[in-house]
């Protein structure tokens, strides 16, 4: 395994599986392929889940496991469970007031970021975390973000028939299925004794046929709703244990946790969290040439305040300070360098003259270039080791951003420079390449793009499964474009037998297992489950990534440049401040990889 993969893979592997490690004394509820958390979601917000959550925590704690509790939005159960189980530390992602305000302001994603970050901190050192849902539609989004399976609960009062329970439960399960969240079962609470036998008979069988196990039905007198908080402290464990032992099949819940997740894709929240945590642990020095763009200044301030990187912006210090003041930005900690008065200019001139001596460049020409092109000056900082990476392009074309890097930062083997995008979809992160640099690759170039994209994906924690895209799937069509992809696939397989690569494949056969099984006989390690997509040319790739981005609301992180000795990344001229922050962090990760190799 390469040094860069070793650097980042443990973080992403832990996030991908939820850090699924149980000690030898644990009851086996988590495995490397399963889950180390479970979200309990009531079908109605007014339902009583306290007995269920107490019962689960007590059951797993009795097996010498360290069990924690977390609420995405703080509620009454957090206080009860904290007292009963002597929980310490923060157990909520947001207060009810915070959550309401963020949702009302249209900042749902900000709320999810906050919940995810606090969840990761809360579950640190735990074998299992029981998550108390809100009982609202937010639960499906939370479960998806946290990559946790769900146990549904439902209060079955006297007015509800078995058919009512059945249809309501399946409807709720579908809301989670739409988010690609696994539901391990349904638990009923408050069941009248006269209905227990019927619900545990016909209804249980009917639910099982629909793939939703009925894991238990707690009688109404076994609930904790009639107990005061002080009484709970004394009686809850014994009461709940007795109810669980008699009425709940906890083994079904355990099996649901041990079951391999329906997908091994990395979730967007896990991916971004892993990147940010790596940046916090090892901040890199990133240069931003375009200080005259207010988005760049805002991103520089945010990155500095969050301690994600050390930032240098290029420009006249007085001009930059005046612009920051006008924007209400605090530049404390942000380094400002004026290329025209830099003490390093002579050194950069010498480096550029040496690099361009075959073209006859003179010191005068080099000085003029460095004073007139801020991207060249920023690139020279990276080449000289005065910065670890550069991010530009908010005000410049892709060519203007990367041209200096092609001169100063080529690898010794003159590897093809290409790019990928990390496409953060609702439930997964995919890699698209090349969508920004290589216009019309020949088979050899396309093979290089595929291999380099797979290596980049692996360095960021993916197990790359590479689909070589075409309008044909494994010979279903013919033509020069299909042949190019066929030849490129053969080259990759020959030169990199370690990679999982298949082609030519159509996009649908690459991502949908049912379609893949229809179109491909004999099985494939890639078809239906690809996570790295190599487009046949720039026209196809660029349009496809923009179509996905605009149609789905996906976050496109990139383009991330590949094939350079040190990282330089290009921004879209329509980029937002979060886009710039993400690109700075991705550039930092690449810089860590390069430094690790030295």
Interval 465-476: pLDDT, tens: 999 999 988 877
Q: What is the pTM of this model?
A: 0.75
Comparing 141 with 558, which gets the higher pLDDT?
A: 141
Residue 335 clears pLDDT 90, i.e. is over it: yes
DSSP string, 26-46: S-S---TTS-SEEEEEESSTT
Token pair of 534 as six digits: 């190599």
**pLDDT on residue 398:** 85
pLDDT of residue 197: 76
| Most confident of the ranges 88-97, 203-212, 437-446 | 437-446
pLDDT value of residue 558: 82
**Pick from 163, 137, 161: which is nearest to 150 by CA?**
137
Question: What's the CA gap between 22 and 19, in Å, rounded?
Answer: 9
Residue 247: per-residue pLDDT: 61
Stretch 503-525: mean pLDDT: 89
Beta-bridge partner residues of 419: 561
Q: Alpha-carbon dihedral of residues 195, 196, 198, 204, nearest 10 degrees?
A: 130
Closest by CA to 500, choosing from 449, 451, 443, is 451
pLDDT at position 39 is 93
Closest CA to 156 of 64, 248, 223, 83: 223
Q: Report the DSSP pairing between strands 418-424 and 429-433.
A: antiparallel
* DSSP letter string, 497-519: TTSEEEEEE-HHHHH-HHHHHHH
Check residue 183 and report its DSSP letter.
Answer: E
d(CA 150, CA 146): 11
Give residue-wise pLDDT tens across range 52-89. 887 788 777 776 578 889 999 988 778 778 877 777 77
**Higher model confidence: residue 518 or residue 257?**
518
How far apart are alpha carbons 246 and 249 in whole angstroms? 9
Q: Are strands 284-288 and 309-314 parallel, antiparallel or unpaired?
A: parallel
- Answer whether 250's CB lies under 8 Å from 222's CB: no
Tell me the two tokens of residue 430. 């995919």
Query: What pLDDT shows up at residue 34?
Result: 62
Average pLDDT over residues 564-576: 91
**Residue, of 572 and 328, whose pLDDT is higher:** 328
The DSSP-derived string for 224-272 is STTS-HHHHHHHHHHHHHHHHHHHB-HHHHHHHHHSPPS--PPPHHHHH
CA-based nearest residue to 267, from 135, 433, 420, 115: 115
Q: Is the pLDDT of residue 351 over 60?
A: yes
CA dist., res. 363 & res. 368, Å (int): 9
pLDDT greater than 50 at residue 17 = no
pLDDT at position 253 is 64
Instruction: Please indicate whether residue 269 or residue 597 has the higher confidence score (pLDDT).
Output: 269
Each residue of 388-436: pLDDT tens digit?
Answer: 999 999 999 888 999 999 989 988 777 899 999 999 998 889 999 999 8
Tokens 């209804």 found at: 203
Report the b/e string of 353-365 with b at 16+ CB within 10 A.
bebbeeeebeeee
Q: Contact, 501 vs 486, CB < 8 A?
A: no
Question: Of the candidates 200, 227, 580, which has an alpha carbon nearest to the alpha carbon of residue 394?
Answer: 580
Mean pLDDT of 3-24: 34
Q: Are 395 and 433 in contact (CB under 8 A)?
A: no
CB 543 within 8 A of CB 264: no
Residues 556-563 have a mean pLDDT of 88
List all residues 6 or more positions away from 289 whose beta carbon is below 8 Å from its beta carbon.
313, 314, 374, 375, 377, 378, 390, 392
475 CB burial (10 A radius; 0-12, 13-18, 19+): exposed
pLDDT at 259 over 80: no
Instruction: Give the pLDDT of residue 262.
Output: 54
Rounded CA-CA distance 134/310 in Å is 39
Domains of the chain: 3-264 (3.40.50.300), 265-410+573-598 (3.40.50.10950)
Q: Pick the range with the lowest mean pLDDT from 157-161, 303-307, 548-552.
A: 157-161
Average pLDDT over residues 179-207: 83
Tell me the average pLDDT of the chain: 84
* pLDDT of 589 strictly over 50: yes
pLDDT at 234 over 90: no
Percentage of the chain lying above the pLDDT 70 cut: 85
């Amino acid at each position: 395994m390469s040094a860069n993969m070793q650097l980042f893979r443990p973080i992403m592997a832990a996030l991908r599986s939820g850090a699924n490690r149980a000690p030898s004394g644990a009851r086996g509820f988590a495995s490397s392929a399963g889950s180390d958390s479970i979200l309990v979601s009531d079908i109605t917000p007014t339902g009583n889940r306290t007995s269920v959550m107490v019962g689960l925590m007590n059951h797993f704690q009795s097996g010498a496991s360290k069990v924690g509790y977390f609420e995405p939005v703080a509620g009454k159960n957090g206080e009860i469970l904290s007292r009963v189980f002597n929980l310490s530390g923060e157990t909520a992602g947001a207060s009810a007031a915070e959550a309401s305000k963020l949702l009302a302001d249209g900042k749902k994603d900000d709320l999810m970021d906050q919940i995810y970050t606090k969840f990761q901190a809360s579950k640190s050192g735990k074998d299992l975390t029981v998550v108390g849902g809100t009982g609202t539609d937010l639960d499906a989004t939370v479960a998806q973000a946290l990559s946790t399976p769900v146990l549904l609960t439902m209060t079955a009062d006297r007015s509800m028939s078995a058919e009512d329970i059945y249809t309501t439960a399946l409807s709720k399960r579908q809301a989670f299925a739409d988010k690609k969240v696994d539901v391990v079962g349904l638990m009923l609470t408050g069941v009248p004794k006269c209905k227990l036998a019927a619900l545990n008979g016909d209804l249980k069988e009917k639910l099982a046929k629909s793939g939703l196990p009925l894991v238990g039905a707690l009688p109404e007198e076994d609930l904790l709703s009639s107990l005061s908080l002080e009484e709970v402290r004394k009686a809850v464990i014994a009461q709940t244990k007795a109810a669980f032992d008699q009425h709940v099949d906890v083994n079904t819940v355990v099996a649901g946790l041990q079951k391999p997740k329906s997908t091994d894709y990395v979730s967007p929240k896990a991916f971004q969290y892993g990147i940010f945590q790596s940046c916090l642990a090892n901040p890199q020095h990133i240069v931003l040439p375009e200080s005259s763009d207010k988005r760049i200044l805002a991103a520089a301030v945010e990155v500095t305040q969050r301690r994600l990187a050390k930032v240098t912006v290029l420009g006249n210090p007085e001009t930059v300070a005046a612009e920051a003041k006008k924007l209400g930005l605090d530049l404390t900690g942000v380094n400002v360098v004026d290329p025209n008065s830099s003490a390093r200019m002579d050194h950069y001139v010498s480096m550029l003259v040496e690099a361009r001596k075959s073209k006859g460049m003179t010191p005068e020409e080099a000085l003029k270039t460095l004073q007139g092109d801020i991207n060249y000056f920023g690139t020279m900082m990276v080449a000289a080791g005065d910065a670890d990476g550069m991010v530009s392009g908010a005000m410049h074309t892709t060519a203007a951003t990367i041209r200096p890097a092609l001169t100063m930062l080529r690898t010794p083997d003159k590897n093809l420079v290409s790019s990928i995008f990390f496409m953060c979809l609702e439930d997964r992160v995919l890699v698209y390449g090349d969508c920004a640099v290589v216009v019309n690759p020949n088979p050899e170039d396309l093979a290089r793009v595929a291999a380099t994209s797979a290596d980049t994906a692996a360095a960021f924690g993916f197990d790359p499964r590479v689909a070589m895209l075409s309008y044909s799937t494994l010979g279903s069509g013919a033509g020069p474009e299909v042949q190019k992809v066929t030849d490129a696939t053969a080259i990759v397989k020959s030169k990199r037998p370690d990679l999982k690569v298949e082609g030519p494949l159509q996009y649908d056969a690459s991502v949908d297992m049912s379609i893949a099984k229809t179109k491909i006989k004999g099985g494939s390690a890639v078809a239906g489950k690809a996570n790295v997509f190599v487009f046949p040319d720039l026209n196809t790739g660029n349009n496809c990534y923009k179509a996905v981005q605009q149609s789905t609301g996906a976050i496109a992180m990139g383009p991330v440049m590949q094939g350079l000795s040190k990282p330089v990344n290009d921004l879209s001229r329509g980029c937002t401040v979060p886009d710039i922050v993400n690109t700075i962090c991705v550039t930092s990760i690449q810089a860590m990889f390069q430094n690790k190799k030295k």
